[in-house]
Amino acid sequence: MKLTKTLLATTALTVAAAGANAESHVEMADSMTIVSWGGAYQESQLKAYVEPYMEQNPGVSVTWDESSPEAVAKLRAMDEAGNITWDLVDVTAADAMRLCDEGLAMEVDHDEILAEAPDGTPATEDFGDMIVSDCFVPQIAYSITNAYRTDVDEWEGRTPEDICALFDTENFPGNRTLERRPINNMEWALMCDGVAFEDIYDVLETEEGQQQALDKLDTIKDQTIWWTSAAESIQTLADAEAVIGSSYNGRFFSAIVEQDQPLEMLWDAQVYDIDGWIIPEGLSDEKLARVEHFLKFATDTQRLADQAKYISYGPARASSVPLVSTHAELGIEMAPHMPTNPDNSDNAFVQNYEWWADYRDDIDAKFQAWLAR
């Protein structure tokens, strides 16, 4: 009985709040479905800007959908069914480009819909090169990088200095763990096979170059455990199943700093990638108004800097970088753990989206055939 009453009261309150909201913003919907990755990353989004936004705009309800890994396929299916149920989708830059190509994401005018920096720099300049597609609103820069265990007896005190330790089974024996797709692995293989940094993609364009990379990977194939989700890779390293391997830098951060695993970062040749929002094509006017209102808030300078309190991903805005402070719970400085920190970014490179958009299907077929053999 009591429960029913409480429920009724809550419902009444919600309705009242919704009504009040509808009056103040006549044209805005009061609910949004946001699609993200789940886990620590979604938590950082919730803390840094979704909760503050809901506080400022009582009556707005947010539904989360943790479908970002399959966002492209699901959006395509929704579009074919003629019923898009998502309002804002968090995707990687490569996926944003594909969604834009397929006409599933809306092209946006960044200067118009995004807030400018506190000093008045327009958004397009503040985000700079991070805007890799007309549909894409960047949020964070992360990287795919490597880490190694610090307690391997066979290494006799040697510590990996550069990316080629991955392929050096003599000095650094033990299992490796790498992502089960060609992107990044092919580049690292060529770098360690004597190909100059700037020639990598020219070489990879040729049949011989692709074979060269696969041959290099062949030298560690028997000792590699291939992962498909980043959590697997961390688990494999934490269990000492593998002694060195790749994952996202934020995952390593939480394993090393928050969970105290005996791991050390190997920042050399880390590959930057960008993550951000896209708005699905074909939202109703009310939904679009709400989404744009939220987006302006969620990607402003302070909010992006706030997000770095909860996860070690670098804010996509140049103006947010100086504002990055300490971890919300541990109180440690976050800057040294950012992939964009100068000490970490010596030999870093940015994933070549356009190139991979062309070659992914072809090289992936060869890579998977190589793996299966």
Partner 1 sequence: MSDATSNANTIDAPTPEKGIAAAEAKNNPVLAADGTPLKKSLRRALRAQKLRALMLIAPLLIFVLVTFIAPILDMLFRSIENQIVSDTLPRTTSQLSEWDPATDELPPEAVYEAFYYDLFAAVEARQHTRLGQRLNYENTGVSSLFRGSGRDLDDFREDQVEYIEDFSPEWEDAGYWLSLMSGEGGEDFLDTRRDAILALIRESKRSPLGDLWCATIATCATAPEDIDIGYTPSAEVIDLLPRTSEAYADFALITVLEEEDSIAEEEPWEAVYVALAQDLAETPESELAAFSGPQAQALVDLKAGLADVEAQSFRDLFAQSDDDWVTPSPWRTIQTYAPAYTTGYFLNAADMQKTPDGPEFRPENERIYGLLLQRTMFLSLTITFSCILLGYPIAYLLSNLPMRTANLLMILVLLPFWTSLLVRTSAWKVMLQQQGVINDVLVWLGLVGDGSRLVMINNQFGTIVAMTHILLPFMILPMYSVMSTIPPSYVRAAKSLGATNWTTFWRVYFPQSVPGIGAGSILVFILSIGYYITPEIVGGTTGTFISNRIAYHISSSLNWGLAAALGSILLVVVLALYWAYDRIVGIDNVKLGG
Residues at the contact surface with partner 1, assessed by CB under 8 A = 69-70, 72-73, 76, 82, 98, 100-103, 175, 180, 211, 221, 225-226, 228, 232, 239-241, 354, 357-362, 364-366, 368-373
CB 265 within 8 A of CB 149: no
Q: Among residues 212, 194, 193, 196, which one has the least CA distance to residue 204? A: 212
Nearer to partner 1, 135 or 163 (CB): 135
Cα angle value 37/42/47 (rounded, 5°): 170
Nearer to partner 1, 99 or 305 (CB): 99
Nearer to partner 1, 47 or 366 (CB): 366
Nearer to partner 1, 12 or 77 (CB): 77
CB 294 within 8 A of CB 32: yes
B/e letters for 130-163, b = 16+ CB within 10 Å, e = fewer, are bbbbebbbbbbbbbbbbbbbeebeebeeeebebb
Min. distance of Cβ 252 from partner 1 in angstroms? 19
Nearer to partner 1, 147 or 183 (CB): 183
CB 115 within 8 A of CB 300: yes
Nearer to partner 1, 1 or 372 (CB): 372
Q: What is the dihedral of CA 88, 91, 96, 100, to 10 degrees?
A: -30
Min. distance of Cβ 70 from partner 1 in angstroms? 5
Min. distance of Cβ 180 from partner 1 in angstroms? 8
Please return the burial class of 314, using the count of CB atoms within 10 Å of its CB with bins 0-12, 13-18 and 19+.
buried
* 52 secondary structure, DSSP code: H
Nearer to partner 1, 102 or 199 (CB): 102
Min. distance of Cβ 330 from partner 1 in angstroms? 28
Nearer to partner 1, 294 or 356 (CB): 356
- Nearest-angstrom CA–CA distance, 286 and 305: 29
Min. distance of Cβ 51 from partner 1 in angstroms? 29
Min. distance of Cβ 235 from partner 1 in angstroms? 8
Min. distance of Cβ 313 from partner 1 in angstroms? 22
Min. distance of Cβ 80 from partner 1 in angstroms? 9
CB 29 within 8 A of CB 290: yes
Min. distance of Cβ 15 from partner 1 in angstroms? 27
- Nearest-angstrom CA–CA distance, 3 and 105: 43
351: its two tokens? 């994933």
Cα angle value 197/201/207 (rounded, 5°): 125
> E strands along the chain, which residues?
31-35, 61-65, 88-92, 137-149, 176-179, 224-227, 244-248, 263-278, 314-315, 349-350
> How, if at all, do strands 137-149 and 244-248 pair?
antiparallel
Nearer to partner 1, 135 or 316 (CB): 135
Beta-bridge mates of residue 108: none
